[in-house]
Amino acid sequence: MNSTNPPENVINCLQTILDAIAVGNYELFLAVGDSDYKAGITKEMFDTVSSQLAPRMSEGYKITYFGHLIQQGYQIYLWKLSFVDGKDEFAARMTMNRDKVSGILIT
- Answer whether residue 54 is part of any domain: yes
For the residues 48-55, what does the mean pLDDT come to?
96
- Residue of 51, 20, 53 whose CA lies nearest to 38: 20
For residue 98, what are the domain limits?
8-106
Dihedral, CA of residue 6, residue 11, residue 12 and residue 14, to nearest 10:
130
Specify the CATH number for the domain of residue 48: 3.10.450.590
Q: Is the pLDDT at 2 greater than 90, yes or no? A: no
pLDDT at residue 1 tops 60: no
Q: What is the pLDDT of residue 3?
A: 57
Mean pLDDT, rounded, for 8-33 = 97
Into how many domains does the chain fold?
1
Residue 2 lies in a domain: no
